[in-house]
Amino acid sequence: MAKRTSLHGFWSSRLAFVLAVSGSAVGLGNIWRFPFVAGENGGGAFVLFYVLCVFVIGLPIMISEVMIGRRGRRNPIATMRIVGEEEGSHSSWGLVGVMGIVSGFLILSFYSVIGGWTIAYLGYSLTNGFSGLSAGEIHGLFSTLLADPVKIVALHTVFMALTILIVGRGVERGLETLVRFLMPALILLLGLLLSYSILAGDFSGGVNFLFRADFDALTPESMLTAMGQAFFTLSLGMGAIMAYGAYLPEGTSISRTSFAVVLVDTIIALVAGLIIFPIVLANGLDPAQGPGLVFETLPLAFSSMPMGGLLAPVFFALLLFAAWTSAIGLLEPAAWSVESHGRSRRSVALVIGVVIWALGLLTIFSFNLLADVRILGGSLFENVDHLASNVMLPLGGLLITVFAGWVMCKNSSSEELGIGTGPGYRTWRFLARWVAPISVLLVFLHAAGILGILGLV
């Protein structure tokens, strides 16, 4: 078959691709979402189950997404449709791309709100700083922010505008440069914060909380959340990674690249946990307090550490950049798909961005004006997050891995992966055909209580 070539050019190097995919993967999911869901689900067993999901489900699906993306070299909808037909299956595989775009809308709608909180904290750290503030005062800062919908709407607007700006210009310009500097700087700063937690926090308590597993306490719902977190943090299941794979030059090893990204992403999340929980425990805070966790713990570290006044703004600026590069990855598949129907990228990014922005108001108001609205026991924000992260992403990932393992023939996948048909290839194919899809299904059935009804657990 004649190889397709990318319509938007290629990444300038393998490193550029690694950086772009890690830019999408590493974001609020690692530093904001992972610690708070781990805290809400009791740490330990939840964390280990999450790591298991990352390597057993996430890694083979990441490889599958990049592979399908490079095979199709189009936007995710067109790619799934074209490769599906080419493999003698159906063009309706394009619907997986459509579902992915909807998941991206839902996720970006709240992602941008949290991006706005990050801007607020960058503002605090630049103006008054946190130095000398007590835990109570830092808590007050956060609750005052949450109670101010006008301010959050404004910041959400700024964050969304920044995202629309880059996506409207075309992702390949700018993103590479941004991430190339961002990743090393973020890792350096996390290293500094980690040494603070080791020295000043309850580090052994934090390690215990994160890694001491009590599997009896792992509920089916927690398992679903851990799996959802694995998809969320790796940007999987919605075609985002597929869109980046479309720009990948031939001859770059997909499996090694994916492994590197998965490893870096997981280490960053675990380090974020190792920074946050020692501070939580040393200050008698509640690990299960929810989405405010990072915003109420890290300022405490900055308030008492040497040079905290200087490091705080640097940290929140880096977190903002990390969130920004992820938000770009969330909007890109939708922008690219609609753009190819003959509309300009700028106008498409703007229109879609405004729709997502409006959806984001639900999240904002769920922390203040509409805090009393509960659906299925959760707030509006929790429902949007749960539907997108825990249901739609794993479902998308399931379909993608079935496509890569069952619809694509052996010749196509081994040719595209370029690793022959040896043990490496066979391992991937086994994981993609059997282990990943069955695991996702089992977690779904377990969460729905069906395994229990059948008397299997």
Which of 46, 232 has the CB closer to ligand TRP?
232
* Minimum CB distance to ligand TRP, residue 295 (Å): 15
Burial classification of residue 404, based on how many CB atoms lie within 10 Å of its CB (0-12 exposed, 13-18 middle, 19 or more buried): buried
CA torsion 312→317→319→322, rounded to 10°? -160
Cα→Cα distances 12→17, 165, 176, 372, Å? 8, 22, 9, 50
What's at 212, amino acid-wise? R
Cα→Cα distances 259→263, 265, 266, 280, 285, Å? 6, 10, 11, 31, 35
List, in sequence order, every residue forming a beta bridge with 375; answer none if it has no partner.
378
* Minimum CB distance to ligand TRP, residue 21 (Å): 10
* Minimum CB distance to ligand TRP, residue 262 (Å): 11
* Minimum CB distance to ligand TRP, residue 59 (Å): 15
Backbone angles phi, psi at 207, to 5 degrees: -60, -45
Which of 174, 449 has the CB closer to ligand TRP?
174
* Minimum CB distance to ligand TRP, residue 454 (Å): 31
Which of 229, 412 has the CB closer to ligand TRP?
229
How far apart are the two ends of the chain, measured CA to CA in Å?
48
Question: CA angle at residue 33 from 32 to 36, to 5 degrees?
Answer: 90
Which of 24, 439 has the CB closer to ligand TRP?
24
Which of 325, 383 has the CB closer to ligand TRP?
325
CA torsion 158→164→166→169, rounded to 10°? -140
* Minimum CB distance to ligand TRP, residue 46 (Å): 17
Q: Are 380 and 365 in contact (CB under 8 A)?
A: yes
Which of 78, 322 has the CB closer to ligand TRP?
322
Which of 323, 417 has the CB closer to ligand TRP?
323
Q: How many other CB atoms sit within 10 Å of the CB of residue 217?
A: 13
Which of 24, 366 has the CB closer to ligand TRP?
24
Q: Are 238 and 100 in contact (CB under 8 A)?
A: yes
| Residue 298 CB partners (closer than 8 Å, separation 6+) | 193, 275, 276, 279, 312, 315
* Minimum CB distance to ligand TRP, residue 372 (Å): 29
Which of 152, 269 has the CB closer to ligand TRP?
269
* Minimum CB distance to ligand TRP, residue 194 (Å): 19
* Minimum CB distance to ligand TRP, residue 176 (Å): 17
Cα→Cα distances 413→66, 254, 299, Å? 11, 11, 48
Backbone angles phi, psi at 370, to 5 degrees: -110, 25
* Minimum CB distance to ligand TRP, residue 329 (Å): 4
Burial 60-72 (b: 16+ CB within 10 A, else e): bbbbbbbbbbbbb
Nearest CA among 156, 57, 61 for reference residue 100? 61
* Minimum CB distance to ligand TRP, residue 451 (Å): 26
Calpha distance 346→325 (Å, rounded)? 18
List, in sequence order, every residue forming a beta bridge with 378; answer none if it has no partner.
375
> What is the number of the residue whose Cβ is closest to ligand TRP?
29
Footprint of ligand TRP (CB under 6 A): 24-25, 27-30, 107, 232-233, 235, 238, 240, 326, 329-330, 393
What's at 176, amino acid-wise? E
Which of 25, 167 has the CB closer to ligand TRP?
25
Q: Which parts of 138-289 are beta strand (E)?
A: none
- Residue 177's SS3 state is helix
Which of 193, 419 has the CB closer to ligand TRP?
193
Sequence-ordered alpha helix ranges (H) in 340-392: 345-366, 380-385
Which of 102, 371 has the CB closer to ligand TRP?
102
* Minimum CB distance to ligand TRP, residue 436 (Å): 16
